[in-house]
Structure 1
């Protein structure tokens, strides 16, 4: 089994941090801490991880970052780096905020979720936002893009405006596997987008050499009965568009539990890419993560 580096690990402790988006009930409505993650990765091949911010209350962003730096420094956790929260739209405040971490090698990048009600299409293209993302490139940090499928054109435009910043497209552009299913299979579950516009925008983003695609997230949106074949068109289009040198793996744990356990996701992905060369699989599973996150 080829080892995996998980480039999209979430952790949250509701006794320490406020997550305004967290539902009041359901599988996500509790803490998910390192001991839970250690149990979840048993049998998956995951041996290291990069934390992904969890959209804590804005006043807790610095505390979240410091918490993750401490975890990474401990040497006792699989977590070896962190992508932290940030609000690039406020240029002055963001510059002051991110400067705190210029000498922290554990910090690898920044993300702001861009598919919420307060972030309409084009939100990341304002002059202030663009300057903040350019600053990340100057600091050697990446920016994760988590966009609605209908807003994927924003990723191409931001990549053009920030050619020296590495942009990482989360969750295969938030592709919805139900878009590939027949009406019978998906029932009354309407997909968030149609197939061809998504495919076109993914291919367009991939033309920008400062972009990467994270093969993650799609498992959270499967129907109750699913198989690797339901995910294969998404994964293969992303791999073929971006090529073997610009793709990385992410678990999206514990959000993946909305669809299936983490082990089921890793098994499905291994099945999907089994026909690809071992060299390509190694790049997707771990080598690209080591390269781009400087692990």
Structure 2
């Protein structure tokens, strides 16, 4: 299927709104080991047509699809969804980073596809040091050589610390921290500040590397039941201080966001509302400009 997706794409302007983190999945065709337990309500197909009316309503022009399983079948599903809609401006896929020849072969096969980055469900690995393994680093060098990002779901303080080391080892690799490192908003709401202060310090350490950016995603889930936009603001304000708007992008995390919000619109509008105090240039960056630059979305779409 390589090469087919690009033909369906139209040129996209950099001033449009981008949902930089949206999932699709199809459990009857792809294996998702994590779709159990608290995620069981999401164990059904969620595809791009299901969210298109919400994207239209919220004024979201383009999306970046992000993988949901560490397997080839999930990548194929994402690329098929991209083929079906010019709204998909990029795909963050999966490759076997611990197998350099296989990873290189996939990346080279996708050179005409809208793959703009690679990620891995690091949080699901049994090895807590997986991110720092030598064979993983060999794989990450492939991404840097090809100008692709590495998106890290750094959901724990330990993983955030490892991102600091990763950034030091790979100065030529753009690293994207997903879900803002899962700020402990729920405990902050409960009046407990120790976890918050630790997260805030780690985010500062991560942001010290200029080639690390972050996504404002997953915050409604992190805030816990009964959240409102005000509960999200501390994390957004800290992120703006640490990274600045030019290194932040907004993503819905749909449909995972439905675990913390009753609809796409609820989560997206609340996140957008946290940017009310940001100037027009900064707001434009978070709502699309950063994603365009970091993922090379305009370049990826217009070059095909």
> TM-score surpassing 0.5?
yes
* Structure 1 partner of 2:7: none
Out of 81, 90, 95, the residue aligned to residue 71 of structure 1 is 81
After superposition, where does 1:136-155 map in structure 2 within 5 Å? 136-151=143-158, 152-155=160-163
Q: Cα offset for 1:87? A: 2.9
* Structure 2 partner of 1:18: 31
Out of 163, 169, 174, the residue aligned to residue 166 of structure 1 is 174
Higher helix residue share: 2
CA RMSD between the two structures:
2.1
Secondary structure of the corresponding residue to residue 57 of structure 2: coil
Q: Is there any run of 5+ residues in structure 2 with no aligned partner, and where?
A: 1-14, 298-304
1:224 matches 2:225: yes
Q: Cα offset for 1:3? A: 5.0
Q: Is there any run of 5+ residues in structure 1 with no aligned partner, and where?
A: none
Q: Cα offset for 1:117? A: 4.8
1:86 matches 2:105: no
Q: Cα offset for 1:165? A: 0.8
Secondary structure of the corresponding residue to residue 27 of structure 1: helix
Change in CA separation of 1:49 and 1:21 when aligned onto 2, cut-off 3 Å: same
Query: Whole-Å Cα distance in 1 between the matches of residues 225 and 77 of structure 2?
Result: 36
Secondary structure of the corresponding residue to residue 66 of structure 1: helix
Out of 256, 265, 268, the residue aligned to residue 267 of structure 2 is 265
Out of 107, 118, 121, the residue aligned to residue 113 of structure 1 is 121
| Higher RCO (C-alpha 8 Å, min separation 6) | 2
Change in CA separation of 1:263 and 1:119 when aligned onto 2, cut-off 3 Å: farther
What TM-score results when the alignment is normalised by the length of structure 1?
0.88
How many residues are paired up? 280
Displacement over 6 Å in runs of 4+: none
Query: Whole-Å Cα distance in 2 between the matches of residues 224 and 41 of structure 1?
Result: 24
Out of 51, 54, 77, the residue aligned to residue 68 of structure 2 is 54
Deviation sequence 1:115-146 (CA, Å, 0-9, x none): 125241x3111111112112101011110011
